[in-house]
Amino acid sequence: MNIIYKRLFELSIRHEFFANGKGRNLNLIPTKETQNLFKSGRMLFRDTPNGTLVLYRAKNDLVSPEIDLPRPKTFTFLLQSNDQAFIQTVSDFDKLPRKFSSGDFLHFQNLPAQASTDSSNPESLEHEILDGRRPMRFSSELVLNPNPGTVILQVLDSDGNKISSGQDFNGQAFPVDRNIQAEPDGKVRFEINLNGKKEGVYTIRLRNDLDTTTLWTRDFFLSADPNLSNSLGVVQIRYSNSPDHLYGLQEFYRLQLNRKTSKWTYYIVNQNKRIDLSSSTLIIEDRENPPSSPYSQYQFDQLGSTPHPDIRINDHETVIFRSQVPIPYFERPKLNLELRRNPGNRVLFSHLPNPLRHSPVKTDGGDPISEIYVYI
C-alpha cells in the first residue's frame, strides 16, 4: 500500500528588514490544539526555508483525503522568534489608527474567499492588534472610576456570540450577562474559565447595570497552549463551508512583516574641542547610494544653532541634525552620509554610523526618533 501525502498549503514568512526578504529568526509552531487536529486528520507539518508546509494523507486519486475533516476548520500557529526583542525593534506592527505597544498581541489570518493557488502571488494575511493573550482560565482585577456599583460581565466568542464566563461553585454555568459587584474603591474582580472551549479571539467587556454602556473592553487570544506567553502573535489559516478550500488545489499564503522607519537624529559632540564651533559650520551631506540600495538620498536639518544653546553631552558642545523624513530600518547599513566642516569643505566622517538596531526609538512630536552620537 502506497502512502501518499499531498500539499494542502504553504505559508511563507517575509520581512522587509532582511536583504533577502525572508523572515529570519521567525518560526511558526502549531498550537497543541492544532497538533491534535493534524493527528486526527492524518496531516503533517514541516518547516521550510521560507516558512512552513502542511500536507494531508491522500487516497490513490491523489486528491481525496483519507480523513475528511469537517468544515469550517481553523489551523492555528504560534509566531515565535529566538530574538524577540530585535524583531520588535525593527518591525512595524502598527495597524492604523492603532499603534502596537508593550503587552499587545498580533493576530494574523487569511480571508477564506481569497485563497490563492498561485505560488507567485500568494494571499497576504491580514493582521489585527489584540490587547494581549491569556490562558483559558485566568482572573483579572481593574479599577473603574467613577465606581459603577454593579457591572455586567460579558464574554463574546470569535463569532461575536455571548457565552458563559465559567461556572459557579455548584458547577452551574454563569449567565451570559453576569452581575458583579464592584468594591468600594472601584475595583472589579472576576475570573474567566473557558476550559473546553476552542482557542481563538475572545472579547471580554464590562457593561453598566442597565446594559446600555460599555465601561471596559478588551480583545484577547485565549489558548491552553503553554507556549502562548512566549509568542509574538498567532497565525490562523481558516476554511469556511463556502467556498470549500480545504482539499484540492494547493494554496499559498504569505505573512508579510514591514520594517520600521524613524527620523535619524545625529548628536555631533565636540569632545576633543579641536573645532571652534562658533566659527565653523557643520553639514551632513548624503552622497550617491551604491547600486541596489534600498535607501533614498536624505536631507538633514540642523536643530538649533552651532553649538546647540541648550543641549550638551558630558558637558561638551553639541550640534544636532535630524533627517527631514523617516529612514527605513534595513539589514545593510546606509553608506555615504558625510559629515563636513566649513570653511574648507573638509570631510570629518565619510560614513556616519547608522542607529544601533537594538536601540530604543523615542517619539518627538509624534515622529519616531533614532538617536546617534558621534564624537569629534
User: What cell does 31 get?
Assistant: 498550537
- Band (1; pLDDT cuts 50, 70, 90): low
Residue percentage of the chain with pLDDT more than 90? 83
What local confidence, expressed as pLDDT, does residue 37 receive?
A: 97
- Band (330; pLDDT cuts 50, 70, 90): very high
Q: Using CA atoms, how far apart are residues 132 and 233, in angstroms rounded to an integer?
A: 9
Identify which of 257, 271, 281, 263 has the alpha carbon closest to the alpha carbon of residue 327: 263
Q: Does residue 154 have a pLDDT over 90?
A: yes
Name 207's bridge partners. 152, 214
pLDDT digits (tens, 9 = 90+) for 33-72: 999 999 999 999 999 999 999 999 999 888 899 999 988 9
Q: Using CA atoms, how far apart are residues 185 and 183, in angstroms rounded to an integer?
A: 5
What local confidence, expressed as pLDDT, does residue 158 receive?
A: 93
Q: Can you give the length of the chain in residues?
A: 376
Which of 173-182, 203-212, 229-238, 279-288 has the weakest average pLDDT? 279-288
pTM, entire model: 0.91
Q: Using CA atoms, how far apart are residues 372 and 353, in angstroms rounded to an integer?
A: 7
Identify which of 254, 48, 47, 46 has the alpha carbon closest to the alpha carbon of residue 56: 46
User: What cell does 30 get?
Assistant: 502549531
**For residues 376 and 321, is the Cβ–Cβ distance under 8 A?**
no
Q: Does residue 74 have a pLDDT over 80?
A: yes
What local confidence, expressed as pLDDT, does residue 244 receive?
A: 62
Q: Using CA atoms, how far apart are residues 100 and 130, in angstroms rounded to an integer?
A: 9
- In terms of phi and psi (left: phi > 0; alpha: psi -120 to 50; beta: otherwise), the region of 51 is left
User: What cell does 360 get?
Assistant: 530604543
What local confidence, expressed as pLDDT, does residue 315 receive?
A: 93
What local confidence, expressed as pLDDT, does residue 182 receive?
A: 93
Q: Using CA atoms, how far apart are residues 238 and 200, in angstroms rounded to an integer?
A: 11
pLDDT digits (tens, 9 = 90+) for 272-300: 888 888 888 999 999 988 888 889 999 99
**Overall average pLDDT of the 333-343 stretch:** 94
- Band (360; pLDDT cuts 50, 70, 90): confident
What local confidence, expressed as pLDDT, does residue 5 receive?
A: 93
pLDDT digits (tens, 9 = 90+) for 75-113: 999 999 999 989 999 999 999 899 999 999 999 999 998
Which of 89-103, 211-225, 355-369 has the weakest average pLDDT? 355-369
Position of cell 487516497? 59
Q: Using CA atoms, how far apart are residues 367 and 334, in angstroms rounded to an integer?
A: 20
**Overall average pLDDT of the 307-333 stretch:** 94
Q: Does residue 28 have a pLDDT over 80?
A: yes
Q: Cα 319 vs. chain centroid, distance in angstroms? A: 35
Mean pLDDT, rounded, of the chain: 93
pLDDT digits (tens, 9 = 90+) for 306-318: 999 999 999 999 9
